[in-house]
Amino acid sequence: MENTARASALKLKNELEDLLRRRMAGQFRRYGLDLEKLLTPFKWKSLVLIIGNYSSGKSTLINEFLGRNVQSTGQSPTDDGFTILSSPDTPEGGEREVPGPTVINDPQLPFAPLRRFGSRLIAHLRLKEIETPLLPELALIDTPGMLDSVTEKDRGYDYLGVVGELARLADLIILMFDPYKAGTIKETYQAIRSTLPATSGPGRTLFVLNRIDECDNLKDLLRAYGTLCWNLSQMTGRKDMPRIFLTFAPEGEHARGALQDRQLWASEREELKKAIASAPRLRLDHVLQDVDRAVRELRLQVAALARYQEGFLARLKRVLRVGFTAAGLAFLFGDAALKLLAGTPGPVFAGGLLAGNLQAPHWVCPVGCAMAAVVLSYLDVQYLLHPRYLRHILGHLDELAAADTDYERDLWQVVRGRVRSAITGRDRTHLWMRHRRNLRRIDAFLGEDLRRIYQRLRTAES
């Protein structure tokens, strides 16, 4: 049963990838977006990212989940690297440790985007292949602890950038706290405030207050829990409180005897481990969510550029109408006007036309005058009309957004910057592209192709 579900999920994922490549690759390219980046999470297994302050118990939780001491643990910041833990992908198996450069360069793995964080990060990255039945469709990532007063210079790489990149790939993010530092760490603050919302989908983070066995009594625990809730609400800026798992490692359970009903707390730990184990089931849903979001972002971008273009073309039409009229008049009467005003010599075109006797010299002045009118119109468009229109729009950029729902308004915040750089860039092809046609194709993808995949996913799940 499990196998059939897995096979049909895999089939659906392949179909989605195929559809995206066939229907959307051109659109993504046209609008300067990277489809391959969107497809990276398609590549490998489900990822669970474990982050939190140092010695909050991340490595201990991983060892407990695996039933083996794979990661080293300790009170001081013991491990300053990113470790991906997974079972071997090759049929012959065998345990080994794969160094960072190989991890980054392996086309089967989704970690190539980490390359941009440089060699210092790559030196702190490794993949441990371990033989365990627990990780067939799942990989765990252990991370260096979050710190308070640390800069990129101390770390040698952009730590939160890396966390964001991994969060983008992860189906589940476990964010761990301990009662001593219940949400007061600076890097944690930044992660919750900006990194995670920008990179991972909604509801993919589980909050864990760990090491609660170290609270002397229930009052201490409530104090720590209250502090964490308060800090979290400040960080997320939301009023609804997410669930916080209250856990401790079984090995630490005898440290202090504050928690009387051990069974109650032990079940929280079990639930957390179950959530980790079932991450692969979220996979296809997340891939779909990410695709949906990326295509909707693209849609907003295209719609904004279409509006920009339409406003510009309406103004251009007016200028051209005036320009063509001026060119026509200049052609017919330009030489006569010049003769009248400046006394220029030579035959007059209108006279020749009326007499039915047009010679070569008749054409010289009209053609010159008409060309001058065309050149003046061009200069007007290039140096007056477009810059003025652009300035106007930049002052009212949000008017380009066709965002009706809250969700779309959130997306617009991401897309806004893209639209701005497209219209201020040197490349002006966006003024002549067929945005409306592209929009229709994107709508067809969202309304038909993607909807069909969603429906099939729902029937497969039920």
Ligand X SMILES: Nc1nc2c(ncn2[C@@H]2O[C@H](COP(=O)(O)OP(=O)(O)O)[C@@H](O)[C@H]2O)c(=O)[nH]1
Residues that bind ligand X (CB under 6 A): 54-60, 73-75, 78, 145, 210-211, 213-214, 248-249, 252, 255
Interaction of residue 53 with Mg ion, rule CB under 5 A: no
* Residue in this structure with the two tokens 């008409």, named with its chain if needed: 370
Cβ atoms 19, 453 nearer than 8 A = yes
Q: 55 vs 377, which CB is nearer to ligand X?
A: 55
Three-state secondary structure call for residue 455: helix
Contacted entry of Mg ion, ligand X, none for residue 377, CB cut-off 5 to 8 Å set by kind: none
Q: How far is the CB of 58 from ligand X (least distance, A)?
A: 3
Contacted entry of Mg ion, ligand X, none for residue 210, CB cut-off 5 to 8 Å set by kind: ligand X
> Which residue number has the CB closest to Mg ion?
59
Half-sphere exposure of 248 (CA within 13 A, CB side): 21
Query: Nearest Cα to 186, choosing from 160, 166, 157?
Result: 160
Q: 275 vs 397, which CB is nearer to ligand X?
A: 275
> Which residue number has the CB closest to ligand X?
252
| 305/134 Cα distance (integer angstroms) | 48
Kindly report the backbone phi and psi dihedral angles of residue 278, in degrees, each rounded to the nearest multiple of 5, phi listed first. Answer: -95, 10
Task: Return the range that interacts with Mg ion (CB under 5 A); candidates 73-81, 124-132, 239-247, 314-322.
Answer: 73-81
Q: 41 vs 145, which CB is nearer to ligand X?
A: 145
Q: How far is the CB of 59 from Mg ion (least distance, A)?
A: 3
Three-state secondary structure call for residue 209: strand
Q: 171 vs 213, which CB is nearer to ligand X?
A: 213
Q: How far is the CB of 143 from ligand X (least distance, A)?
A: 9
Q: How far is the CB of 199 from ligand X (least distance, A)?
A: 21
Q: 213 vs 297, which CB is nearer to ligand X?
A: 213
Tokens standing for residue 246: 């209250």
Exposure string for 61-82, b = 16+ CB within 10 A, e = fewer: bbbbbbeeebbebeeeeebeeb
Q: 58 vs 168, which CB is nearer to Mg ion?
A: 58
Task: Return the range that interacts with Mg ion (CB under 5 A); candidates 76-84, 111-119, 121-129, 296-304.
Answer: 76-84
Exposure string for 298-320, b = 16+ CB within 10 A, e = fewer: bbbbbbbbbbbbeebeebbeeeb
Contacted entry of Mg ion, ligand X, none for residue 430, CB cut-off 5 to 8 Å set by kind: none
Q: Which of 40, 56, 59, 86 binds Mg ion (CB under 5 A)?
A: 59
Q: How far is the CB of 163 from ligand X (least distance, A)?
A: 14
Q: 211 vs 430, which CB is nearer to ligand X?
A: 211
Task: Return the range that interacts with Mg ion (CB under 5 A); candidates 36-44, 75-83, 228-236, 244-252.
Answer: 75-83
Task: Return the range that interacts with Mg ion (CB under 5 A); candidates 59-67, 104-112, 279-287, 320-328.
Answer: 59-67
Q: 178 vs 297, which CB is nearer to ligand X?
A: 178
Interaction of residue 79 with Mg ion, rule CB under 5 A: yes
Cβ atoms 430, 390 nearer than 8 A = no
Tokens standing for residue 182: 């219940």
Cβ atoms 438, 30 nearer than 8 A = yes
Contacted entry of Mg ion, ligand X, none for residue 417, CB cut-off 5 to 8 Å set by kind: none
Interaction of residue 290 with Mg ion, rule CB under 5 A: no
Kindly report the backbone phi and psi dihedral angles of residue 30, in degrees, each rounded to the nearest multiple of 5, phi listed first. Answer: -55, -35
Q: How far is the CB of 84 from ligand X (least distance, A)?
A: 15
Q: 309 CB contacts (<8 Å, ≥6 apart)?
A: 430, 431, 432, 433, 435
Q: 55 vs 87, which CB is nearer to ligand X?
A: 55
Tokens standing for residue 457: 């996913």
Q: How many residues bind Mg ion (CB under 5 A)?
A: 3
Q: How far is the CB of 122 from ligand X (least distance, A)?
A: 21
Q: 54 vs 312, which CB is nearer to ligand X?
A: 54
Q: For strand 82-86 and strand 138-142, is the pairing parallel, antiparallel, or unpaired?
A: antiparallel
Q: How far is the CB of 252 from ligand X (least distance, A)?
A: 3
Tokens standing for residue 168: 């983008």
CB atoms within 10 A of CB 365: 22
DSSP secondary structure string for all residues of 231-291: HHHHHH--SSPPPEEE---GGGTTS----S-HHHHHHHHHHHHHHHHTGGGGHHHHHHHHH
Binding site for Mg ion (CB under 5 A): 58-59, 79
